[in-house]
Structure 1
Amino acid sequence: MHISRTDLNLFVVLDAIYSQGNITRASQTLNLSQPALSHALARLRAMFDDPLFVRQGVSMVPTPFTRGIITQVRQGLQLFEASLQTEQSFNPGQTQRSFHLGLRDVFEATILPPLLQRISEQAPGISIASVRVDRREIESALSSGNLDMVLEVPIPLTGNIRQQRVSRDRLIVLSRKGHPQMPKKKSLPLELSTYLQQRHVLVSSRRQGMGLEDFELNREGLRRQISLRCQHYFAACRVVSETDLLLTMPEQYASIANAQFMNRIDSFPLATQPIDAHLYWHVSAENDPANAWLREQLIELMQRR
């Protein structure tokens, strides 16, 4: 099979069906009729001598062959699109593009409001989908094109993933107003011994394992008592406001999650390394003007906080 005899638009169809998992949604995404899309799929099947997708109800489930080639197909499409756009003057106001960002709830609450405000003013044709991604799957999600960018703590990745530090935070401790064990004067620091004597909330999406604060305590041979493990900081802030439990969390997110509860804020009673956040993207998107524009907005907004 030579590329000169191949209709490259067929690969756009392949990517759309894979992404949408449904013929109707894929045809709507590409602004094609369903018969036209089905005809393109038939040509793809003949070209690869593989079913490519198996219908299950209304869903189109990719075959192992399709799952094996989709990463290379998406990287090729991204590089091709970037090369075309490089020859044109990029205008955010005229761009029609959807971006998928890997964000935890901490970043959703802090970065999405100012980002969407800026997009509505400068690039109204851009839409954002925020999804949660397991740290172990970040590289594969970026490589396959399932995600365009990810905001996360520093993690080891290969040279195919570009990254830049975008913010630095610190740990603070929340307690309810009038907590009987907290220092009576706000000017007095929270002592480490007092912190360890209390019961705590740990926020984590995992069923087990330690939080960042526990790793810091363990380095000193210390351990705290976890009475509640929950998934979201907002819920934890409310629990703290109505109990004697303490919550340790990043300071920047506390300004949002704790706003309506007005819990007391103290510094974490142990010297720790700053909490860095990095922006990650795949090398194939490095020179894509739209991707680069969105990266610039994210970096600027994160560094303003």
Structure 2
Amino acid sequence: MNLAKLDLNLFLVFDAIHQEASLTAAARTLNLSQPAVSHALARLREHLGDPLFTRQGGRMLPTPYARALAPSVQQALATLQGGLSASPQAFQPARSDRIFTIGMPDILESLTLPSLMTQLREQAPGVSVHSVRVERHEMADMLRLGRVDVVVDIALPVDTEVMHTRLILDRLVVVARADHPALRQAPMKLDTYLAASHVLVSARRQGLGLEDFELSRQGLRRQIGLRCRHFFTACRVVSQTDMLLTMAEQYGRIANQQFDNRLHPFPLTPPQLDAHLYWHANMDPDPTNRWFRQQVIDAVQDELAQASRLA
């Protein structure tokens, strides 16, 4: 096919329909009318000689040809976007009004954003940061498409298109109120841990925590009395009850400063919280992305240093 005869903007429409599985949602993403998106799809179908998408119920599902074509289109668009984002001059933080988007779960927000925003207010007052949640199975696509600049998450298996570096290697501790009647003797015994009611913090509706996998390897199980979504809530519940909370030590020191809670060693060899910073290989040499990555790294190191001083 002669690309000179093909409007390459049609592939933006193709990618939006493939991502959204809907003409209406694709039109909204592209800031176009639905008839314009339908017309563009019709033109691309004519050029490529394939229906590309078929309607099933309320969804537009890709044909086998479209499924095979989609990765190449996404890669080409991401490469072009990366090239357009590159500045012929070195990135100038103090003069930038760039919006950076970072994907991370709640717990890592608290270990990253306070120091990060302090740094940015000093070095790049015009820069803004949007923190969003990224599903782990979507991380590579979100980075490839430029929908997030970087991701901070636990250690995950990734392929060569996603680069990463370790940010945090932490251990688990058990949080309890200072006058907990079962914890007047240290260290905490395993029997005491298993006999207590526990708070589990998770954004998921079901599933085990990292500590539960460690217990299950030894044929043990704890009682989950409360499942909630935020560590602040969990720390407050622990401060007012005899429930226990298991969490990462460094974040635990920061999160419990305002509560009369104590941190105890996990009663088994504790699993480690291994968190990494991820970015797409296409953005590795980009000076703007490289600057922001370093800001994130510096911010996490600063937060960990502050948490260590609280020990």
What do residues 24-63 of structure 1 show as CA deviations (whole Å, max 9, x unaligned)?
A: 8866xxxxxx89xx9899668645659999xxxxxxx988
Segments of structure 2 that go 5 or more residues without pairing to the other structure are: 54-58, 305-311
Shift of 1:154: 1.1
Aligned 8 A contact 1:149 1:281 in 2: yes
CA 1:287–1:11 in 2, change beyond 3 Å: closer, same or farther? farther
Aligned 8 A contact 1:51 1:63 in 2: no
Shift of 1:230: 1.4
> Which residues in structure 2 correspond to 1:162-201 (within 5 Å)?
162-184=163-185, 188-201=186-199
| Residue among 297, 300, 304 paired with 1:299 | 297
Q: Could you tell me which residue of structure 1 aligns to residue 229 of structure 2?
A: 231
Question: Partner amino acid for 2:285?
Answer: N
> Which residues in structure 2 correspond to 1:97-246 (within 5 Å)?
97-184=98-185, 188-246=186-244
Structure 2 residue matching 1:166: 3-state secondary structure: strand
CA 1:149–1:259 in 2, change beyond 3 Å: closer, same or farther? same
> Which residues in structure 2 correspond to 1:11-26 (within 5 Å)?
21=25
Shift of 1:297: 1.3
CA 1:299–1:246 in 2, change beyond 3 Å: closer, same or farther? same
CA 1:109–1:90 in 2, change beyond 3 Å: closer, same or farther? same
**1:139, 1:25 → 2: CA distance?**
20
Structure 2 residue matching 1:150: 3-state secondary structure: strand
Question: Partner amino acid for 2:154?
Answer: V
Structure 2 residue matching 1:170: 3-state secondary structure: strand
**1:303, 1:71 → 2: CA distance?**
36
**2:41, 2:287 → 1: CA distance?**
30
Shift of 1:118: 2.2
**2:75, 2:92 → 1: CA distance?**
22
CA 1:46–1:260 in 2, change beyond 3 Å: closer, same or farther? same
Shift of 1:180: 0.6
Aligned 8 A contact 2:101 2:149 in 1: yes
Shift of 1:294: 1.1
Aligned 8 A contact 1:13 1:41 in 2: no
**1:48, 1:70 → 2: CA distance?**
14
What do residues 225-248 of structure 1 show as CA deviations (whole Å, max 9, x unaligned)?
A: 221111211111111111111111
Q: Could you tell me which residue of structure 2 aligns to residue 31 of structure 1?
A: none
Mapped pair 1:280 → 2:278: yes
Structure 1 vs Structure 2: percent identity of aligned residues? 44
CA 1:74–1:92 in 2, change beyond 3 Å: closer, same or farther? farther
**1:63, 1:99 → 2: CA distance?**
32
Question: Partner amino acid for 1:258?
Answer: N
**2:125, 2:191 → 1: CA distance?**
52
Segments of structure 1 that go 5 or more residues without pairing to the other structure are: 28-33, 54-60
CA 1:42–1:273 in 2, change beyond 3 Å: closer, same or farther? same
**2:179, 2:293 → 1: CA distance?**
43
Structure 2 residue matching 1:272: 3-state secondary structure: coil
**2:222, 2:175 → 1: CA distance?**
15
Structure 1 residue matching 2:111: 3-state secondary structure: helix
CA-based RMSD of the aligned residues comes to 3.6
TM (norm. structure 1) is 0.77
**2:26, 2:12 → 1: CA distance?**
14
What do residues 38-90 of structure 1 show as CA deviations (whole Å, max 9, x unaligned)?
A: 9899668645659999xxxxxxx98858x966765554344234445657222
TM (norm. structure 2) is 0.76
CA 1:91–1:10 in 2, change beyond 3 Å: closer, same or farther? farther
**1:24, 1:7 → 2: CA distance?**
20
CA 1:92–1:2 in 2, change beyond 3 Å: closer, same or farther? farther
CA 1:40–1:137 in 2, change beyond 3 Å: closer, same or farther? closer
